[in-house]
Structure formats: C-alpha cells, structure tokens
A and B are shown apart, each in its own frame.
Chain A
Amino acid sequence: MVEDLDQKIRDSKKGMSPIVKTIVRFAMGIIILFGAYIVLYGHLTPGGGFSGGVILACAFIILTLAFGKDLALTKMGDTAASILDNSGALAFIVIGILGFTGGFFFLNFISHGKLFQLFSAGIIPLCNIAVGLKVTSSLFAVFIALSIFGRFISKLVDEE
C-alpha cells in the first residue's frame, strides 16, 4: 500500500521537479520531529504549543507545495483538519474545566513532578499539546481554504 502510493507519487507529473520532491521526502520527517519536540518540551525550553504548531503546519504546507494538492488532501483533508481543530479547542476547555475538581478554573490538579523533567509541570504539557493540535490543523485549514478551495470557488463563479 505504502509502496504503491510512493510509486504513484513518483510517477505523477503534478507538483514540482523530482529534486524538490526528493529533498522534501528527506526533510519531512525531520521537520515533523522538530515540531513535535518544540510542542512536547514547551514547559522546559523556549517554544510551546503555538510555535511547534506553526512548524508542523509548515511541514504540511511544504508537502502541498512540492507534491500537489492530491497527496496533501489524503494526508490531512479539510474534514480531518476541521475535526482536529475543534478537538484541540475542546481538549483545552476540558482541561480547564477539570480544574474544578480541586476548586477553581485551570487549577493545576496533576502532580507537578520534579523540576526539569519531561513529565512534570502538571497540566501545562497537556495544554501545550492541545494548542499545538489546534494551531497545526487550523493553519493548514486556512492554507488549503485560501489556495485550493479559493481556486475551486472562483471556478464555480466562472461557470455561473
């Protein structure tokens, strides 16, 4: 299945030249790894949900630019982006409301752990992950809305 898709991408004439496609295929994993690192270590080092989310969204945007819209829409379509966007916002609100178990809104109710450990700081990494999910999917949704569906709508207007 993966081989099949890979072959189809290599053969298709859409997108940019084979040089760009090869470089993007190499860089893709590294960019996504870096974005995930920025999101997960947001409570220890500079960074956090928004910056990591922007890097992850840029990875998807590079994929769209290099391989054309078909591959990018199979990796993350507009419906999937919308669902992830809403679930990120919902997760953030749920984390905030769960603070009422201890008394008030956005209470850090999980154990804080040791300083400078990855699993520490209570709910802050969870909030970072929720924000990162929302920023990734909503930025990519904005990109595909402006580029792909913008062209689609203008075609509809022309037909009318």
Chain B
Amino acid sequence: MILYFLSLVLFVMGLYCLIAKKNIIKKIIGIVITEYSINLFLILIGYRKDGIAPILFRGMARAEIPDRAVDPLPQALVLTSIVIGLGVLALMVAICLRLYEKYKTFDMSEINKLKG
C-alpha cells in the first residue's frame, strides 16, 4: 500500500512541475514524470511476492507459470504505454523547437502573441 502511495506522490510532483514551472522544457519533464509514475503504478498492480518473470525457460514445468509468475498483462500494457510516451515526447520536443524558433525563448509567460 505504501508503494502505491509513493507512486501517487511521484504523480503529484510531476503535476506540480507541469503547473508551476514557466519553462516549457521543465513542463515537458513534468509530463514525463507523471507518465512514468502511472507506469510504475500499473507495474506495481501486477507485482507478486517472490514472483518470477512470466517466461517459460528451459527445464521449467508449464504449471509453474500460473503458480509463481507475476501478472504479464500490466507489463504488456506498460510496454505499449512507453512506446506511446516516446512518440508524444518527440512531438512535444518538436513543437518546443518550433516555438523557440518563433519567439527565441522557452519562457511560457513571454509567449503571448496568440490571438483568440
């Protein structure tokens, strides 16, 4: 339970960084921290004490997997989530580069030429 709470703390730290900081790069770091805390939470749901990896190794009985292995579903989910996070990160950095070319600054409060 304490581990779930710690991942919540990590989530709130990322959210604080996303809201309070003015530098866009720091905002991106906040988004990434939030994302990783959610990944950590999902992995922790599938955790099992003294569990093994859900892979059939040589000389292992097949019944051992459901008896001892950790839950593979959150791991598959988090792998997909990491890939999507990578794509989103690349998009955010590209938008940041364009903003820097236009305004010559990363400061959010100085990027104010948006009308409407």
Binding site for B on A (CB under 8 A): 45-46, 50, 115-116, 139, 142, 145-146, 150, 153-154, 157
* Interface presence of B45 (CB below 8 A): no
- B63-89: CB near A (< 8 Å → 1, else 0) gives 000000000000000010001001000
For A158, the closest partner residue in chain B by CB is B101
* Interface presence of B6 (CB below 8 A): no
Chain B min CB distance to A63 (Å):
20
Q: A150 contacts B55, CB within 8 Å?
A: no
Known: A50-B83, A116-B58. Contact between A146 and B97, CB under 8 A?
yes
Cα–Cα, bound, A46→B76 (Å): 12
**Main secondary structure on chain A at its contact with chain B?**
helix
With a cutoff of 8 Å between Cβ atoms, the chain A residues found around residue B101 in the complex are 153-154, 157
With a cutoff of 8 Å between Cβ atoms, the chain B residues found around residue A154 in the complex are 97, 101
Binding site for A on B (CB under 8 A): 53, 55-56, 58, 79, 83, 86, 90, 93-94, 97, 101
For B102, the closest partner residue in chain A by CB is A157
Q: A46 contacts B53, CB within 8 Å?
A: yes
For B83, the closest partner residue in chain A by CB is A50
Known: A50-B83, A157-B101. Contact between A146 and B53, CB under 8 A?
no
What 10 new A-B contacts, CB under 8 Å, besides A115-B56, A145-B94, A146-B90?
A45-B55, A46-B53, A46-B55, A50-B79, A50-B83, A139-B86, A146-B93, A150-B94, A153-B101, A157-B101
